[in-house]
Amino acid sequence: MIVLERLMIFMIVGALSILFLIWIVSQLQQQEASDGTLSPAQLRNRLREAINRRRADDVRQILETALPVWPLRAALIEASNELIALSNAARLAAEAGVPTDLVQRAEAEAHRALEGVVELAVRTRTVAAQGVHYADIRETAEQEVHDLRELARVAATARAALARLTLTEGRSDQETLRQAEQELRLLETTAKALSGDF
């Protein structure tokens, strides 16, 4: 009798475990489906919210679930990571005594470039929703990938310039300040090229 009771308990626990796993899988599938069918406005809002919280991991997750597995998606993730890192570095540099105008400019340029990334992500999602194959847009997409990688590189270089200034608490020689200014001008130009603002 005890063996039968234990067997019944084991079967009930097993059945409940299976039902729980099925529920978890269905929730995950619903989440994926809802992320894959975001409207452009919803995608834009979710990305901006994650960026405002400076959460690169959240931005990556949104892009991974909302966009197809194209090289463009990877480049958008890379650029957003570097730009959020630059924005975070600017805040830290301000605390270390780096000149306020440079810090504010770095943050402003990172923010402007992130807006360009958001808009390109929205356009990419819109193209994917049209059922277009990557091969059909490869040439145009590869130019965007190139521009995004250049933006990520420039953001990393600007972050390094802020780090050099941070190391010296902003008491750098004129050459270091000039280099930092040059990096920020390059970031501005690159961000404008991405968004088409000239």
Q: What is the pTM of this model?
A: 0.76
Q: Which amino acid type is present at position 93?
A: A
My answer on whether 57 and 129 are in the same domain is yes
My answer on whether 139 and 67 are in the same domain is yes
My answer on whether 10 and 97 are in the same domain is no
My answer on whether 124 and 178 are in the same domain is yes
In the chain, how many domains are there?
Answer: 2
Q: Which domain holds residue 23?
A: 1-35
My answer on whether 7 and 55 are in the same domain is no
- Alpha-carbon distance values, 172 to 61, 118, 161, 169, 177 (Å): 39, 35, 11, 8, 7
pLDDT tens-place values along the chain, 198 residues long = 676 777 777 778 777 778 777 767 655 554 444 445 788 999 999 999 999 999 999 999 999 999 999 999 999 999 999 999 999 999 998 888 888 888 898 999 999 999 999 999 999 999 999 988 999 999 999 999 999 999 999 999 999 988 888 887 655 566 777 777 788 888 888 877 776 654
My answer on whether 17 and 44 are in the same domain is no
Residues in the chain: 198
